[in-house]
Chain A
Amino acid sequence: MTSVTSNLAYIGPGAGFTFLSSFLVLFAAIGLLFVSLATWLIRFVTQWLRRSRSGLSGGVPCVVVVGLDGLDPQRLRRLIDDGRLPNFKALQEEGTFSELGTTLPPLSPVAWSSFTTGVNPGKHNIFDFLNRDLRSYLPELSSAKVTSTGKVSLLSKLGLGGPGVRLLRKNQPFWRVLGQHGIFGTILRVPITFPPEKFFGLSLSAMCAPDLRGTQGTFTMYSSNEADCVNSTGGTWVHVTEVNHRIETHLVGPPNESGRQPAELTLPLVIQRRPNDEEVVATISGQTIRLRPGQYSEWVHLSFPCGWLKRVHGICRFRLESTAPTFRLYVTPINIDPERPAMPISAPLYYSLYLGKLHASFATLGLAEDMWALNSGAIDEEAFLEQAYGIHAEREAMFFDALKRTRRGLCVCVFDGSDRIQHMFYRHNRKDHPANEGKDIVRHAHVIDEMYERMDDLVGRVRKEVDDDTVLMVLSDHGFCDFSRAMNLNVWLREHGYLVLEEAAATGDYFSGVDWSRTRAYALGLNGIYLNRADRESRGCVPADQAADLRAEIAAALRLVTDEEKQCRPIREVYDSRQVYSGAYVDNGPDLVVGFEKGYRASWETAVGGTDGPLFYDNTRYWSGDHCVDPQLVPGVFFSNHHFIDEHPRIIDLAPTILNLFGVPVPPYMDGKPLTRGRKTPAPVVDTAEPQAASVEVTA
């Protein structure tokens, strides 16, 4: 029995595995630490040499950038004056608070790309959320392209092949320049960083990272009311039938890359109801989830079998909206599982695994807050807010962890819940907002102000984490304004003969029915008008030598447009891209950029190439605030714990400023100029009555 006594530690395979894996990790960690210690001197000398060769000297040890997407300077001033934002006020008093010039157009992908690269859109190639395919004129995502061979190979049948993803943003992020000088960076959720680029640091992708279906977020709504089930933008409505308290349906997942049918991978979803009980039990992907009305589930891990060997992993959350009289179940877009990403969402690849293991699963979708679900009535405002703040909390946890680990170098995190909440609750600013019709205007009347207070609390906690030597910057990419009237630019172009439809053709979105041989201009995206140029578009008809005159002609005509119903001008300025952009990619962008007045925006139809409907109409959707107007009207904000003396800083200046702060030479291709640090004068004067004029980023 000697063996027995000596092996009593073994108490079954379960505990055995736990012991084994635990020791394995521990031993691997010891090995790694040993290697790390052994090579530390070499790495230290290499970095020192690299810094010496770069001539770095006198830089700050650490720069922390907190991006609060869409924070508006006017509202900030009001709330600071009301004493509701003590931490922003403290930053203002100890360092800098000014408006921050945004980009043209003032859209997040454009502005954050200029922040990232320090160049104008003509050099980074992001002009809007959408661009168009020059052959088909169909809209496509401007920031990333999924490349597929289109062939079904043995590898794809096995499930081992897959699509590639290419970042369309050009130029290099300034943190790569820092990395080349041995300065480490942690970059969290900065828009237009999908797919992630390798550099000396860590990054997690954000805006424009797709869901598992390859879209920018497609929710699923199950409803027992067939009338509900009409397809809406950003979501799929599924009619379900209950038999013996049981609903059998399926959840649509990613496209089937194995080349077999069905074209989309699905998972069976079984919902079991209990009589006289509001709780339902959903079974999916081998898991049982208990759902109560009005409550989100935790992140549920989904595993889609694809091919013989591969499984595609995603995560989603469920929310039971109601059980009776209508059964309604909402499922968030299926996010890429950070622990088993179907596409790279972080650099290095295992950074998302680290974050997933450390903080549990988190939203990885670029536009994670499901605005389309609220817009289409799938969820209510309460559910949207809960979701938005839940995602915000996930990012806070990641950011504060990164802040602790990035002792020297750059730490950037962008929080975009502030943008989403303002988009969806702006109607509460105006009682007569058309979006208020038939909606509650009391319950969430103060949501935006409360959101600013939450952001202030976040800033307060960040201030506690950073020391005096660290430069803290808090900024927004643009401000916000009302969106109560929509203008269809394609209808205006059609009415004025620039866009021509084929006779008796069916019209609709995606330029259906457009006669390209006679169309001279078309609008796509949120601010852009494109000429149908013979030397660029596949069916172009405008000769290159007539383009400048045509641009001037359309711009002049647009400046005079009047919204007859409201008796006001919807357009403040129309910019000729050749005059405001410079760089190798100017030709890829719109020829004209429309700067709307506050309250106006390009219609949803314009964004996707819709050519029919009214020229102007009231915006009655929850999506009631926006910033796709003239950039002079919606500057962002810039706070710092250090004093910068420049009166009109621009978002494009921040990349060179941060390089300068670290003592890294600013590359000559950058359009932005480094801001100048100075000493704080004892009596700062901020005129709260009249906002400072912000500069539009214009490059000669």
Chain B
Amino acid sequence: MTYVNSTANALGDFLMSPFRGANPWPGMLAISFVTAIVFVWVFKVFSNQRGLKRKKGRMMARALELLLFRHDMVVSLTAFGRLAAANFSYFGELLKPIAVSLIPALLLLIQIACWYEYRPFAIGEPILVQVDFSDDFPMMSREIECVSSEGLETETDSLRIPSLNQANWRLRARAAGFGWVDVKADDASVRKEIVVDDRLLKVSDRRVQSGFWDTLFHPVESPIEQAVPIKQVRVYYPHRQLFVAGIEVHWVIAFLVLTMVFGLLIGRLFKVSF
């Protein structure tokens, strides 16, 4: 998984590196465009275009059947059944391209989320750091400490919640840059990156102990070692906001719409039938 994440990170950084400006839209447009090209091509290569066209045609025909024979209730009802069957059959054509696209699409979405789900802290903003300890670690009786790098100021002592075996600190961003906090418990120490900037940068909201799914979904920082009594260190970054004509749009919606629009154009160019 480490190798997969390293590769995906490198690819993500490479694609997004020209778009580290204050405006997140150029990056979103670019990544949507590239995604559309790649996935339309994958769809073309791995789908049965003739079969898809035929089955889509059948589905349309069954829908038209409802119109043509609307005077006959029995034909209309059975036509709906045939339409549902044609729809299933049409979905069936998707299985192969889905199987091929699934893992790359997942890795891509995870990478894009690193850039668009959260934004770095602005100077002066408060930062909440949450540390979850292992269940067998007696947090209340042990000394735990949070040390921050230059540019970050720890404002509070630890707030310990015994029922959750969790400790929290509040910090404040004082200068732009890639800062960190070191969380120390007994002899162990875990470092978590904290980004303070006003540009589009990749951020990691948590660093987690190794485990397949956790590692997959949080690829930016290497996993916490198993021997350390800390399960995860989480930094509550503010959500990134994308606006279209003053209306906030979630990045997933923006990405979906843009890839569909680009896909439609590229699909025509590639002569791909969806």
* A contact residues vs B (CB 8 Å cutoff): 1, 3-5, 7-8, 10-22, 25-26, 28-30, 32-33, 36-37, 40, 43, 47, 184, 200, 202, 286, 348, 350-351, 353-358, 360, 405, 407-408
Assembly CA distance A1 to B118 (angstroms): 9
- Residue numbers in B under 8 Å from A30 (CB-CB): 80
Q: Flag whether B243 is at the interface (Cβ < 8 A).
A: no
The answer to whether A15 touches B256, judged by C-beta atoms less than 8 angstroms apart, is no
Binds A, one of B100-108, B132-140, B183-191: B100-108
CA distance A52 to B36 in the complex (A): 61
- A-B CB contact pairs (8 Å), 6 listed: A3-B250, A4-B110, A14-B272, A16-B260, A25-B83, A358-B57
Q: How far is the CA of A200 from the CA of B72 in the complex (A)?
A: 12
* Contact residue among A1, A18, A200, A407 (Cβ-Cβ distance under 8 Å from B110): A1
CB pair A1–B39 under 8 Å, yes or no, is no
Given B47, B54, B101, B251, which contacts A360 in the complex, CB threshold below 8 Å?
A: B54
Set A11, A21, A22, A353: member contacting B105, Cβ < 8 A: A11
Contact between A1 and B71 (Cβ–Cβ < 8 Å)? no
Let me know if B67 is at the binding interface, CB within 8 A. Answer: yes
Q: How many Å from the CB of A82 to the closest CB on chain B? A: 41
* Contact B97 A25, beta carbon cutoff 8 Å: no
Q: How far is the CB of A145 from chain B (nearest CB, A)?
A: 29
Specify which chain A residues have a CB less than 8 angstroms from the CB of B70 in the assembled complex: 32, 36
Contact: B102 with A11, CB < 8 Å?
A: yes
Give B56-104 interface residues, CB cut-off 8 Å to A.
56-77, 80, 83-84, 87, 90-91, 93-94, 97-98, 101-102
Instruction: Name 16 extra pairs, CB < 8 A, besides A10-B105, A18-B274, A29-B83.
Output: A3-B113, A4-B113, A10-B109, A13-B36, A13-B259, A13-B263, A15-B39, A15-B94, A16-B259, A16-B263, A18-B94, A25-B60, A26-B83, A26-B84, A29-B63, A286-B271
B46 to chain A: closest residue by CB: A14
Please indicate the chain A residues that have their CB under 8 angstroms from the CB of B84 in the complex: 26
Chain B: interface residue total (CB-CB under 8 A): 67
The residues of A that contact B44 with a CB separation of less than 8 Å are 14
Q: Does B19 contact A (CB under 8 A)?
A: no
- Given A1-B218, A15-B94, A33-B80, answer yes or no on A10-B256 (Cβ-Cβ < 8 Å): yes
8 nearest interchain CB pairs?
A13-B263, A14-B43, A12-B39, A17-B274, A358-B61, A357-B57, A357-B61, A354-B64
In angstroms, Cα B79 to Cα A407, docked, is: 13
Q: Tell me the minimal C-beta distance from A614 to chain B in angstroms.
A: 53
The reply to whether A17 and B71 form a contact with Cβ atoms under 8 Å apart is: no
Whole-angstrom distance from the CB of B150 to the nearest CB of chain A? 29
B223 within 8 A of A: no
- Bound together, the chains give a CA A11 to CA B256 distance in angstroms of 10
Check if A8 sits within 8 Å of B58, measured CB to CB: no
Given A26-B84, A29-B83, are A14 and B263 neighbors across the interface (CB < 8 Å)? Answer: yes
In contact, B72 and A21 (Cβ under 8 angstroms): no
CB distance from B107 to the nearest CB of A (A): 10
B252 within 8 A of A: yes
The distance in angstroms between the C-alpha atoms of A19 and B259, with both chains bound, is 14
B30 at the interface (CB under 8 A from A): no
A14 near B47 (CB under 8 angstroms)? yes
Give the CA-CA distance A25 to B262 in the complex, in Å.
Answer: 22
With beta carbons under 8 angstroms apart, the residue of B61, B65, B73, B267 that contacts A17 is B267
Given A4-B110, A16-B263 in contact, is the A354-B252 Cβ separation under 8 Å?
no
**B263 close to A360 (CB less than 8 A):** no
A12 in contact with B58 (CB, 8 Å):
no
**Residues of chain A contacted by B97 (CB below 8 angstroms):** 11-12, 14-15
Closest Cβ of chain A to B79, distance in Å, is 8
Chain A residues near B123: list those with CB within 8 A: none
Residues from chain A with Cβ under 8 Å of B36 in the complex: 13
CB distance from A84 to the nearest CB of B (A): 37
Assembly CA distance A356 to B57 (angstroms): 8
Whether B72 lies near A408 (C-beta < 8 A) is yes
- With A15-B97, A360-B57 as known contacts, state yes or no: A4 contacts B109, CB within 8 Å: yes
A258 to B62, CA, bound (A): 36
* A12–B113 CB distance below 8 A: no
Which residue of A has the minimal Cβ distance to B47?
A: A14
A-contact 0/1 string along B5-41, CB 8 Å cutoff: 0000000000000000000000000000001101110
In Å, the complex CA distance between A595 and B29 comes to 77
CA distance A16 to B54 in the complex (A): 18
Is B35 touching A3 in the complex (CB atoms < 8 A)? no
Considering only CB atoms, which chain A residue lies closest to B213 in the complex?
A5
A358 touches B72 (CB 8 A): no
Contact B67 A350 (CB under 8 A): yes
| Residues of A contacting B73 in the complex (Cβ-Cβ under 8 angstroms) | 36-37, 40
Whether A8 pairs with B259 at a CB distance below 8 angstroms is: no
Cα–Cα, bound, A17→B40 (Å): 10
CB contacts (< 8 Å) of B242 on chain A: these are none
Whole-angstrom CA separation of A14 from B98 in the bound complex: 9
Which listed residue (A4, A26, A350, A405) contacts B87, Cβ 8 A?
Answer: A26
List chain B residues, Cβ under 8 A from A202: 68
- CB of A351 within 8 A of CB of B101, answer no
Q: Enumerate chain B residues within 8 angstroms of A354, measured Cβ to Cβ.
A: 61, 64-65, 68
The reply to whether A12 and B66 contact each other, CB–CB distance below 8 Å, is no
